[in-house]
Chains A and B, each alone.
Chain A
Amino acid sequence: MKKITTRRDFIKKTGLAAAGVSFAPYILPTGRLFAPTGNRSSEHVVMVAFAGGVRQQESVLKRYLDDSQGEPYPGNIMYNMFSGAPPENKIVYGTGTGGMNPIPAILSESLESQGTVFKEVTALSAGHYGGLNSLVQGSTTTTQGLKQRPINPTIFEYLRRHGGYSATDVWFVGNGIGNSTPLLNHSAHPDYGSDYAGNFFAPTVTFSEIGAQFMADAKIYHPENELAPMYKLQTFLDLQFQALTSAGGSLGNTIAEKENIKAFMEAMYAKVAAGTLDLPPVTDNGDLYTMAFAVEVLKWFKPAFMMVNLSAVDSCHADFSNYLAALHRADHAVGHLWNQIQTDIPEMAGQTTLLCTPECGRNLTPNNILDQNDWLAFDHSDANALRVWTLMAGPSVPAGLSIGSEANPIGLVSDTMMTVADLLGVKPEVQSAGMTATGTMSLLDQL
């Protein structure tokens, strides 16, 4: 009797075959033998682009209303990430009427106490776009336009090209599809590009009601009897076409990886429909949903590297109270992320390094827009918008260490990208490529 092969079996078999192949040396598209020259010191790295323009004052300095609205109420509203007591009065950032109920901490010990904080890091750009580019490319290029692929290679491409990581080993989970977000998973650089891209989802769109309308009812094909010949015929058709023009265009996912991603999508639509998604304890804004799906990506793929982008605090342009609430929730999202990694993903627990860096800061002085509490809003364009921080935690990161101060800034935003390269063993290649901002170096080299 013929054994029926399920899709899971197919993925498993092809995965094992791929793993077998990976043990043997192979030639990279660069033409050289696969042998990254750096030392990998972390099995997994998660980078959080935090979280849409964050003022030092309300985040790492824990000043709450004291340095923004002229009201003497300091306090720490990010107690999963930073150590320190929360504000005692004028609570507007929580849940319930007027946000008066702070969200309880998820982590029993703050990430600051578990890791290292670079308290005064210099951003390369006062804008989101330049800031995000400095996080993914390690540089900003003034000639690069909005809605354009990065000009220089991204960390995803460095990892895949020089580290031999597979496409499903590197992920970018975006907060949406606005501006250039969906374009940040690979550059337009001729030596890198889509063949080395990171996989990308903007889950609040992909797995939304609209996404489900087009994607949730996918037909399941038999991997050997149906999909295999279908792909074979497609290959023939592509070969005919490529004989005359160059087409290309995918991210370099193998067939097994594609099947795995499709299986993940199917599982996510089912979880959303059944209400069984692994949500943070409070999930009432887009960032928290984004983080919930980011955790699902980690659980499913256990990637070597994932970058997740949060952005809800950008409401600070017009609504300071909402900014405080979003900042509190971004902290809640990071707490959920770290907690899930340590408690619910055994393959990543104790082997994952977390890096959180705002892509840019916010102004020192407010604009003229008042919110419902008569508090002024803040844009991001002055020198204060170039002040940010970086928080790191993980097995090779010293605990309870604080580096730098307002009088002694240490580190650049682009250092975060170089630190990822360092942790995952491709720092020498990134450095020799010579396309990062001047002065960019691994934060591990600045401890």
Chain B
Amino acid sequence: MSMLVSNPFRFVLAGVLCWLLLLTGCRPEPEVTFDVQGLEVTPGFAVKDRLKTNEQWVAIVHVNLFQTAMPANELYNAARVFESIGDQSIAREVLLSNFFNQPDLDLMTRDEMLDDVEGFIDETYLRFYTRFPTQAERTYVREFILNNPGMTPELVYMSFALSDEYRYY
């Protein structure tokens, strides 16, 4: 029989080493901060170069507005209706205005939007573009909302949903 296996000292040594490894390996990760403000990373518009299909666009806009997925058969039918209309921008606009006419769509009021307009703008960019606005965009949209009394959250959403950037991913 081998001397290595039968030597009891070696078993003790191996056990001690295991304990040492466990003790050092299970130490919690130290929280290191560098006094830099946290930033959520979202994709910028520069990388959006793939056009959504009609089905993708309808599916995503439905989720963005109603927070629920459209049933697959309805999605198929909606895409067929889109194909039957030459000017797709008209099809998108009419579909959206149908969505906005549905009673189960819960949108905030203009007053609620104005209570935290910057927060609304950030939330809208994230909802539709999955990114934060640039400072220039935030400023323009904020001033636009404030200076146009007719701009409701519904119309802001419509502008975003009809925009070119929303057609790409």
Asked if A and B bind, the verdict is: yes
Residue contact A249 to B94, C-beta cutoff 8 Å: no
User: How far does the alpha carbon of A214 sit from the alpha carbon of B168 in the complex, in Å?
Assistant: 22
Within 8 A of A (CB), among B120-153: 137, 140-141, 144, 148, 150-151
Partner of A210, one of B51, B77, B163, B165: B77
Does A3 reach chain B (CB closer than 8 Å)? no
Residue contact B137 to A240, C-beta cutoff 8 Å: yes
Chain B residues contacting A230 (CB-CB under 8 Å) are: 151, 155, 158-159
Q: A229-B150, A237-B159 are in contact. Are A215 and B165 (CB under 8 A)?
A: no
Minimum C-beta distance from B168 to chain A (A): 7
Residue contact A265 to B165, C-beta cutoff 8 Å: no
Does A236 reach chain B (CB closer than 8 Å)? yes
Residue contact B97 to A249, C-beta cutoff 8 Å: no
Residue contact B97 to A214, C-beta cutoff 8 Å: no
Residue contact A205 to B83, C-beta cutoff 8 Å: yes
Within 8 A of B (CB), among A28-74: none
Chain A residues contacting B93 (CB-CB under 8 Å) are: 258, 262
Within 8 A of B (CB), among A240-281: 240-242, 244-245, 247-251, 253, 258, 261-262, 265
Q: Tell me whether chain B's interface is mostly helix, strand or loop, or mixed.
A: helix
Residue contact A247 to B155, C-beta cutoff 8 Å: no
Q: How many residues of A contact B (CB 8 A)?
A: 53
Chain A residues contacting B141 (CB-CB under 8 Å) are: 233, 236
Residue contact B101 to A217, C-beta cutoff 8 Å: yes
Within 8 A of A (CB), among B26-46: 45-46
User: How far does the alpha carbon of A217 sit from the alpha carbon of B96 in the complex, in Å?
Assistant: 10
Q: A213-B77, A215-B94, A245-B49 are in contact. Are A237 and B160 (CB under 8 A)?
A: yes
Chain A residues contacting B86 (CB-CB under 8 Å) are: 172, 182, 185, 197-201, 251
Most chain A beta-carbon neighbours within 10 Å: one of B48, B74, B159: B159
Most chain A beta-carbon neighbours within 10 Å: one of B49, B84, B100, B102: B84
Chain A residues contacting B56 (CB-CB under 8 Å) are: none
Does B10 reach chain A (CB closer than 8 Å)? no
Residue contact A234 to B81, C-beta cutoff 8 Å: no
Residue contact A249 to B80, C-beta cutoff 8 Å: no
Does B113 reach chain A (CB closer than 8 Å)? no
Most chain A beta-carbon neighbours within 10 Å: one of B51, B78, B158: B158
Residue of A nearest to B144 (CB): A233
Residue contact B87 to A210, C-beta cutoff 8 Å: no
Residue contact A215 to B98, C-beta cutoff 8 Å: yes
Does B17 reach chain A (CB closer than 8 Å)? no
Minimum C-beta distance from B106 to chain A (A): 16
Residue of B nearest to A207 (CB): B84
User: How far does the alpha carbon of A237 sit from the alpha carbon of B150 in the complex, in Å?
Assistant: 18
Residue of B nearest to A269 (CB): B94
Chain A residues contacting B83 (CB-CB under 8 Å) are: 177, 182, 202, 205
User: How far does the alpha carbon of A247 sit from the alpha carbon of B169 in the complex, in Å?
Assistant: 12
Does A406 reach chain B (CB closer than 8 Å)? no
Chain A residues contacting B85 (CB-CB under 8 Å) are: 200-201, 206
Q: A213-B77, A229-B155, A247-B168 are in contact. Are A236 and B140 (CB under 8 A)?
A: yes
Most chain A beta-carbon neighbours within 10 Å: one of B91, B97, B140: B97
Residue contact A217 to B98, C-beta cutoff 8 Å: yes
Q: A229-B155, A237-B160, A241-B45 are in contact. Are A205 and B81 (CB under 8 A)?
A: yes
Residue contact A210 to B80, C-beta cutoff 8 Å: yes
A1-21 Cβ-contact flags toward B at 8 Å (1 or 0): 000000000000000000000
User: How far does the alpha carbon of A161 sit from the alpha carbon of B61 in the complex, in Å?
Assistant: 34
Partner of A202, one of B84, B159, B165, B167: B84
Residue contact B89 to A249, C-beta cutoff 8 Å: yes
Residue of B nearest to A212 (CB): B81
Residue contact B163 to A219, C-beta cutoff 8 Å: no
Chain B residues contacting A214 (CB-CB under 8 Å) are: 77-78, 81, 95, 98
Minimum C-beta distance from B155 to chain A (A): 4
Does B162 reach chain A (CB closer than 8 Å)? yes
Minimum C-beta distance from B88 to chain A (A): 7
Residue contact A221 to B97, C-beta cutoff 8 Å: yes
Residue of B nearest to A220 (CB): B97
Residue of A nearest to B163 (CB): A237
Minimum C-beta distance from A105 to chain B (A): 32
User: How far does the alpha carbon of A287 sit from the alpha carbon of B159 in the complex, in Å?
Assistant: 38
Residue of A nearest to B87 (CB): A251
Minimum C-beta distance from A349 to chain B (A): 27
Residue contact B45 to A244, C-beta cutoff 8 Å: yes
Q: A226-B150, A245-B48, A245-B49 are in contact. Are A218 and B80 (CB under 8 A)?
A: no
B46-79 Cβ-contact flags toward A at 8 Å (1 or 0): 1011010000000000000000000000100110
Q: Nearest 8 pairs between A and B by C-beta? A: A200-B86, A247-B164, A205-B84, A202-B84, A233-B159, A237-B163, A241-B165, A219-B97
Enumerate chain B interface residues (CB-CB to A < 8 A). 45-46, 48-49, 51, 74, 77-78, 80-81, 83-91, 93-95, 97-98, 100-102, 137, 140-141, 144, 148, 150-151, 155-156, 158-160, 162-165, 167-168
Sample 6 A-B pairs with CB under 8 A, ordered by A number: A214-B78, A215-B81, A229-B148, A233-B156, A241-B163, A258-B89
10 extra interchain contacts, Cβ-Cβ under 8 A, other than A229-B148, A250-B87? A200-B86, A210-B80, A217-B98, A217-B101, A221-B155, A232-B144, A234-B158, A234-B163, A251-B87, A253-B90
